[in-house]
Structures are given as C-alpha cells and as structure tokens.
Structure 1
Amino acid sequence: MWVLTNVPRAKKRPPEGARVARRGVVTRYRAWVRHHRASAADSLLKILDHPVSSMLTWLVVGIAMALPVSLMLTLDNLRGLEGSVADEASLSLFLAESVDTAAARALAQTISERDDVAGVRYHSRDKALEEFREQSGFADIIDGLGSNPLPHLLLVTPRDRTSVAASEDLAAALSGLPAVAEVVVDSAWLRRLQGLLAVGERIVLTLALLLSMGVVLILGNTIRLAIENRREEIRVVRLVGGSNAFVRRPFLYTGLWYGVGGGVAAAMLTALGLWSLGGPVSALAAAYDAEWSLSGLGIVGSCQLVLAGGVLGLVGAWVAVSRHLRAVEPA
C-alpha cells in the first residue's frame, strides 16, 4: 500500500486548443508592440527626411501654442505683483485732533486685538510733522506755524490682504469709532487690477481654445497630405488584409511627432521671450526700489506644454485619418 501511494503520477497537460489559444494571444500582442515601435520609428524618420517642411510645421504649431502660454505667464506674473502689493496694503486711520498720544496708543492696542486685523502701526503727529519738514523743503514755513496741524495716524493691516471686500468691511467698522476722524482705504487700484486680471483670464482661455483648434486643423491638413502621398501604399495594405487600425497607426504617430515638436518649439519661444524681457523688467523694478522678476514655465511647465502639443497632434491626426481614410479604398 505504501508503494502504491508513492508512485509518481503523470502530470495533467492542458488541452492542445488552450495552448494554441494562449500562444495566439501572446503572438498577437508581441506583433502589436513590434508594429507600434516600427510605426513610431518609421514616422519619425519620414518627418526627419524633410527637415525644412517639418521645421516650418513645428514653428507654426509652436507659435500658435506659445501665444496663449505667454499671455498666461503674463497674468501669473501680474498675480504675483498683486500679491506683493496686497502685502503692503493697509488702512489709514486719521484720528481726531482731540485724541492725545495715550489715547491713540490705547486705540491701536484695541484695534490690534480684532480677529480681522493682522497688525497696527502708530505714527504720532510730531513724527509726521518732522518727516514732512525733511521731505517737503518748507522748513521755514512749518516753523512759523503756531501748532501742529497733523493728526495722529494708525496704519491697520487687514488679515485678509487679498480681499478688497474684507478691507472695505473693516474700514466701515473702524470708521464708526468716536476717535477716528477719517478712514482711507488704499484698495481702489487693487480692485481695478483684479478686474483686469479676470477679464484677461477669459481672453486667454478663449484665445487658447481658438488656437488649439487652429493647431488641430493645421496638423490635420498635414496628415491629410501624408495620406494622399501614401494612397497607393494604403491600398496595397488593405488588399492584403490590413485593418483600419493597422493603416491608421503610422499617421497617428506622425501627428504625435509633429505635436511634440511643436510643443518643444513653443517652450523654446516662450523661454526666449521671457529672457529678452528679463533685463528691462529688472531695470524697471530697480527704478521703483522693488524686488520683482519674471517667472517662467520651469521644467514641469515645459514638459506639460510638450505633452499638450502631443495630445493636440494625436487629436488632429485622428480627425484627419478618420475623415480621409474612408476615401482610400482598394482598387
């Protein structure tokens, strides 16, 4: 009994049909991968065989993509300027003439304890008069005044510096205090800047959509010409049983390479434009004693631009192939 239980048993073999089916799936997958590689390499070589026309196509696509990207970068840099200005934005509280130094300091302490206030700076009337004496050049006239006509000043910084509405609400609340004679809100031009940025965003989005459609049409027309030049080759492939996906694949890779090249050209044109503007912008910022410089796409943004170009190239190629490939029938 022990001998019988230890006799090695023959392994069960899978049915012959299952092995054939498994080999068929693997073979088809490997053939599919090989054809993708061959189509990608062959389409790139065909593009490089005509360097002048390919460069012109890349340049046209690059200009069409660089224009909305440049405008978008301009808006982003203006938002950075808006943030730096908002950091310096404050409310100017001019106190009544009857408020003395002790009362002004106490009021500054009370306002600084509010939840919507980030900080309060106190400027006495004597300090303000001294600064005015030094900067105006009317020292003799000021010395002839019988008394100091300037009030105490409190500079209140809101906690939410980027919201014009929050600054105006805070100004309305502080203007009701008995010791406050007048409140000046330095946010009018900031509101105008925010409005211009909102309009600019709509313009950039509309322009980007229109130019994206233009890129798709440009690449679609390029692929259409490629289909016409290879019409006889397509007919032969269809005569021997080539599927639509098999025929379509090289043209999709052609559109992809054109789109990727256009994205690279757009990134280079954008970087060149920012480099040419960097010097004048730095000189202008230095004239106003400001530290502000232009920010570009960076590596991530450039890669995203190249990826967007590739997607537009694929879309343009797909539209062109789907429309014009039906007209090429085997003889």
Structure 2
Amino acid sequence: MSTQPEFPMESPLLSDQSRGIRTKARPVASWREHHGWSAAASLRRLMSRPVGTLLTVAVMAIALALPLTFYLLLGNVQKMGEALGQNQTVSVFLQPGQSGSSADLMAKKLRDRADVASVKVKTPDQGMDELAKMQGFSGALHTLDANPLPFVLEVLPRTDVNADGVDRLVADMRGLQGVDQVQDSGTWRQRLEALLGVGERAVLILAGLLAVAVLLVVGNTVRVDIASRSEEIGVLMLVGASRAFVRRPYLYAGIWYGLFAGVLAAGFAVLVELALAEPVAKLGQAYAGKLQIDVLPPWLLASVPVAAAFLGWLGARLVSAWQLRKAA
C-alpha cells in the first residue's frame, strides 16, 4: 500500500472534526470549502499518475466517440439518399390523345396538393427529343408517321413526405381520369427508409451499451482506489467523517474522468469529419454539387463532455456507496 494517502488527511473539514470542533456556525462555508478541496485533490491525484489516467480516459473517449461517428455516418447516408433520389420524381403518363390543356389542368390540380413540391409538364415533342439523343433510337424515329408519345407529368413530392405519404399520392394519381400509368420507385424508397430506421435504432442501442461501458470503467477505477485505501478510509470514519465526506473526492474523480473523456471524444469526432472532408468534397463534385454532407452540430459536440461528466459521477457514486457500505 502506498504511504501517501490518495486524498490528504489535512482536509479543512477533517481537521475541525479531528479536534472536536463543530462547524455549525458555518455549515455552508465548510461544505463549499470541502467541495473545492475535493475537486482540487482528486485532480492532483489524477495528474500524479498520467499514464494510468490517460489510458482510462482514452478508453472512455473511444467508447463515447463510436456512437458519435455512427450518428455522423447515418445522417450523411440519409442526406446521400435524398440527393441521389430518395424523393425521386414520380412520372405520370397520360392516356394517348390527351391535349396539352388537359395536361396543364391536371398539373395545376396536383400543384395545389400539400404533399407535392412541383409538377413539370413534358410534351410529346420533348420526349421525342430525349429519345433521339439516345444511341440507337434516332434512325427508328425517322420511320414514324406521327409522334406516339403521350404527355408526361413529372411530380416531385415534398421532402418532408415519408414513404407512406408518397404511396398515397401515387394511388390518388392513378385514380385520376385520363391517367394511363404512374411510374414510381416506391419500393426502393421504402427500403432506404427502413434501412435508415434500423440504423437509427442501432445507434441508440450502441450509445446505451457504450454509456454502460463508461460507467463500468469509471466504477472499476474508483473501486480499485477505494479498496487500496481501505485503512485510510477507516481512520477517516473513526474520527467522525461521514460517508458523504469520504466519497466526495471520488465523485469528483469520476467527474474529471468523464469530462476529459468527453472532450477527447469530441476531438475524435472532429478528426473523423476532417478525415472525410476531402473524399466527400470529391464525391460532391461528381454529383454537380447536389450532394451536401453534414457535420456534427456544435451543440451535440458541446453536450458530450457534460454527459460524460455525469456518467463519470454516476459510476463513481454507485461504486463508492457500495464500497463504503462494505467498509462500514
């Protein structure tokens, strides 16, 4: 056992208790003074063993950075799906013989719907021009006596409409008079949304499991510290120190562990963003700037150290209370 106590015996409050001096006249001041001493003493203790502290903090930081990284990747997969066609245009083919005025009237009705972002009318001549540009079609088109293509309405659903909403829109358009066929890639869209739903649930489960891992790491570290200084703790309690008094420095140690790990985890997440910046920029250029990749919001990065400090406190609180009950 080390000859140097983890938290020195010359605590201001302990000195008063060991001399039988009651601090009833200044309970709040004494409580605040001991909190300050506990925070400083626990920090000095962590700094006195930099290698062990760094290893513990690094393990916790990696555990915290993993759900942040998966959250970043999942959000960008969702953005990529939107850019590459999650809300693809639904093509409405009118029956042959429908006039341009009928197509314009139907387009106006569809634009008035709350679930429709835009409607574009494609004439038979425009469709013929597109076919003419395709390799192998230009010669065959010259043999046609008339243009057989119908008017086509390209309907773009709103971005906030989910797959079920798009399905209802497609069903309504199929029931319109004068509509011959509605072409929609709804199956692909539903699969993508289902995959994203599974990913979101997996990130939540992973975050919960890794939060428990952080609790266990801090709890085990505090348990070892308390067990190695059981005799010193026994002396403290013999001279009148309460359990809250004894465990307070260990609670601050848990807070420091969590705070440092949270800051390091946020740094890891930022490094992942920087590592992805260049390939993502090239990918966006390949899609003519349509692909915009998100980064983690600042509020989320700022909340990680706070949440990690709470987890560190909670782990230290649970283990120290259990250990002190055993020592009593």
Q: Secondary structure at the match of 2:240?
A: coil
1:262 and 1:147 map into 2 onto residues whose CA distance is 72
Counterpart AA for 1:263: G
Name the SS of the counterpart of 1:196 in structure 2: helix
Counterpart residue type for residue 281 of structure 2:
S
What residue identity is the alignment partner of 1:129?
M
Shift of the alpha carbon at 1:279? 1.5
Matched, 1:108 2:107: yes
Question: Secondary structure of 1:181's match?
Answer: strand
Answer whether contact 2:119 2:155 (CA < 8 A) is retained.
yes
Which amino acid is the alignment partner of residue 105 of structure 1? D
Query: Unaligned regions of 5+ residues in structure 2, if any?
Result: 1-21
Aligned twin of 1:11: none
Task: Please name the residue that 2:146 is paired with.
Answer: 147
Q: TM-score, normalising length from structure 2?
A: 0.86
1:164/1:299 Cα in 2 relative to 1: closer, same or farther (>3 Å)? closer
Q: What is the Cα deviation at residue 125 of structure 1?
A: 0.8
Report 1:16-95 matches (<5 A): 27-84=26-83, 89-95=88-94
Helix, strand or coil at the partner of 1:323: helix
The residue type equivalent to 1:254 in the other structure is A
Q: Which residue of 2 aligns with 1:237?
A: 236
Equivalent residues in 2 for 1:163-242, closer than 5 Å: 163-242=162-241
Q: Which has the larger radius of gyration?
A: 1
- Which amino acid in 1 is paired with 2:215? V
Distance 1:217 1:248 in 2: 17
Taking only aligned residues, the RMSD between alpha carbons, in angstroms, comes to: 2.2
How far apart in 1 are the matches of 2:316 and 2:112?
A: 63
Q: Is the 8 A contact 2:87 2:189 kept in 1?
A: no
Query: For structure 1, which runs of at least 5 residues remain unmatched after alignment?
Result: 1-22
| Deviation digits for residues 250-282 of structure 1 (CA, Å, limit 9, x no counterpart) | 000001100111111111111111211221122
Pair 1:318-2:312 in alignment: no
Q: What is the CA-CA distance between 1:209 and the residue it aligns to?
A: 1.4
2:26 match: secondary structure: helix
Rounded Cα–Cα distance in structure 2 between residues aligned with 1:113 and 1:313: 55
Give the percent of matched residue pairs that are identical in Structure 1 and Structure 2.
37
Return the offset for 1:136. 3.2
CA, structure 1 residues 32+284, in 2 after alignment: closer, same or farther (shift >3 Å)?
A: same
Q: Distance in 2 between matches of 1:202 and 1:136?
A: 46
1:83–1:162 CA contact under 8 A, matched in 2:
no
Aligned to 1:14: none
Instruction: For residue 92 of structure 2, give the secondary structure of its aligned residue in structure 1.
Output: strand
Provide, for residues 164-186 of structure 1, a one-character-per-residue CA deviation record: whole Å limited to 9, x for no partner.
22222222122122311101123
Change over 3 Å in CA distance of 1:87–1:189 after alignment to 2: closer
The residue number in structure 1 matching 2:9 is none
Could you say what secondary structure the match of 1:92 adopts? strand
Distance in 2 of aligned mates of 1:317 and 1:115: 53
Q: In the superposition, relative to structure 1, how do residues 161 and 304 fare at CA in structure 2: closer, same or farther (>3 Å)?
A: closer
- How far apart, in 1, do the equivalents of 2:262 and 2:251 lie? 16
8 A contact 1:64–1:215 mirrored in 2: yes
**Contact kept? 2:261, 2:308, Cα under 8 Å:** yes
